Amino acid sequence: VTVAVVGGGQLGLMLGLAGARLGLRFRFLDPAADAPAARAGELLVGAYDDAELLRRLCDGADAVTFEFENLPAGAAPPQLLPPAGALAVAQDRLHEKELFRRLGIGTAPYAAVDTRAELDDAVAEIGLPAVLKTRRFGYDGKGQAVLRAAAAVDAAWDELGGVPLLLEGLVPFERELSVLAVRGRDGATAFWPLTENVHRAGILRQSVAPAAPELQGEAEELAAAVLAELEYVGVLAVELFQRDGRLLANELAPRVHNSGHWTIDGAATSQFENHLRAILGLPLGSTAAVAPSAMVNLVGEVPPLRRLLEVEGARVHVYGKAPRPGRKVGHVTLVEPDAERLRRLLELAGEPTAGAATIVA
């Protein structure tokens, strides 16, 4: 059984590692000859919209999926799962927000902005602070500017103007959460326990799960509505803000997600394995947490492996990427974390350790 994957980053690598156990073979397409997923299968090197390479990628494959979200939706192979329609919605922050609104899911106030005049109108309507985002191609906080005062509007327009934008009210959230969901080809659904996430400079740094059990029902309900609406197959992540004890949806990821990496070590079935089961039409596995887990991202460069492994129980995942500031190069999971081991890990990862203990489940 062969799975074709558009994209060969760390998400592809972890899909390949999960699938190898089930006897699956993988073929990836990525522009980089040193893509991480090359360690888990055959790698075709070239552009995502190269029709001939896409044909070769899909040739004889039993399922075709993606781990890279900016595959031009027009170039999507017909067998693609999750379906191209879900990909298209998730590629545009305005369409995501409109989907949430249509389904009665709360969001930050927002307005589409295409011109300088529309930016002034949107600021007048939404108020400050707000955050201006490019509608397409943003990730890890890229393509965003926070507006705290009217004086910042010009600079934000100079930085981001010229492409379709979205202005959102800045949500004074109590915390960030995400819900990971999976839907099979037969329509069966399952949800992992909510994950609490800490971002710094727009990049995910830490997650803990299970989190916020009192909001699990609300989160599953909103994720189920999105899955049904998009006739979804595979793993879906919805990023959430907790505000006044209720959930607001921030964005969708139509794929396995960084906030679900703890499921490799901390859940009965990982997000990667269940994604593969879903797209291949196999029975879904249990999404239960086997124990509380904490995950710390390694950003920029991997600390010395020996130091990471000295932290008892650390499950270390290294993606094999060249170091670069702001780049996700690995992650470490602690199952049944305690404050002291988490503090040591955060220190090694170069993260502030103040307050870390409060996030330990």
Ligand X SMILES: Nc1ncnc2c1ncn2[C@@H]1O[C@H](COP(=O)(O)OP(=O)(O)O)[C@@H](O)[C@H]1O
List interacting residues with Mg ion (CB under 5 A): 239
Q: How far apart are the first and last CA of the chain?
A: 39
With CB under 5 to 8 Å by kind, the binding choice for 137 among ligand X, Mg ion, none is: none
Q: Considering beta carbons, is residue 64 or 177 the nearer one to ligand X?
A: 177
Q: Which does 170 bind (CB under 5 to 8 A by kind): Mg ion, ligand X, none?
A: ligand X
* 351 touches, from ligand X, Mg ion, none (C-beta below 5 to 8 Å by class): none
> Which residues make up the interface to ligand X (CB under 6 A)?
108, 131, 138-141, 168, 170-171, 176, 199, 202, 239, 250-251
Q: How far is the CB of 106 from ligand X (least distance, A)?
A: 12
Nearer to ligand X, 165 or 190 (CB): 165
Looking at beta carbons only, is 67 or 273 nearer to Mg ion?
A: 67
Query: Closest separation between CB of residue 56 and ligand X, Å?
Result: 30
By Cβ distance, which residue is nearest to ligand X? Answer: 171
Nearer Cβ to Mg ion, position 30 or 239? 239
Q: How far is the CB of 179 from Mg ion (least distance, A)?
A: 13
Using alpha carbons, select from 177, 123, 124, 140 the residue that is nearest to residue 132: 123
Length of the chain: 361
Residue tagged 């399922």 (tokens):
63
Tell whether omega for the bond before 82 is within 30 degrees of 0, i.e. cis.
yes
| Residue 234 · residue 182 · CB < 8 Å | yes
- Give min distance, CB of 203 to ligand X, in A: 8
DSSP character for 91?
A: T
**Of residues 144 and 274, the one with the C-beta less far from ligand X:** 144
- CB neighbourhood size of 196 (10 A): 21
Dist CA 256 CA 17 (whole Å):
14
Q: Which of residues 138 and 285 has its CB atom nearest to ligand X in the complex?
A: 138
User: Which of ligand X, Mg ion, none has residue 108 at its interface (CB below 5 to 8 Å by kind)?
Assistant: ligand X
Encoded tokens for 102: 């249509």
Task: Give the residue with the Cβ less far from ligand X, 103 or 170.
Answer: 170
DSSP conformational letter for 215: G
Q: Which of Mg ion, ligand X, none has residue 196 at its interface (CB below 5 to 8 Å by kind)? A: none
- The entry of Mg ion, ligand X, none near residue 106 (CB within 5 to 8 angstroms by kind) is none
Between strands 165-169 and 110-113, the pairing is antiparallel
What is the C-alpha to C-alpha distance for residues 175 and 241, in angstroms, rounded to an integer?
Answer: 6
User: CB under 5 to 8 A by kind: which of ligand X, Mg ion, none does 171 bind?
Assistant: ligand X
* CA–CA gap between residue 146 and residue 129 (Å, rounded): 7
Distance CA 332, CA 100 (A): 32
Q: Give the residue carrying structure tokens 């600079």.
A: 155
CA angle 223, 63, 45 (to 5 degrees): 105
Min dist. Cβ of residue 239 to ligand X (A) = 5
Smallest gap from residue 239 Cβ to Mg ion (A): 5
Considering CB distances under 5 to 8 angstroms, the limit depending on partner class, which of Mg ion, ligand X, none binds residue 265? Answer: none
- Radius of gyration, alpha carbons of the chain: 20
CB of 204 to ligand X, least distance (A): 7
C-beta of 277 vs 331, nearer to Mg ion:
331
The least distance separating ligand X from the CB of residue 173, rounded to whole angstroms, comes to 6
236 vs 348: CA distance, rounded Å: 31
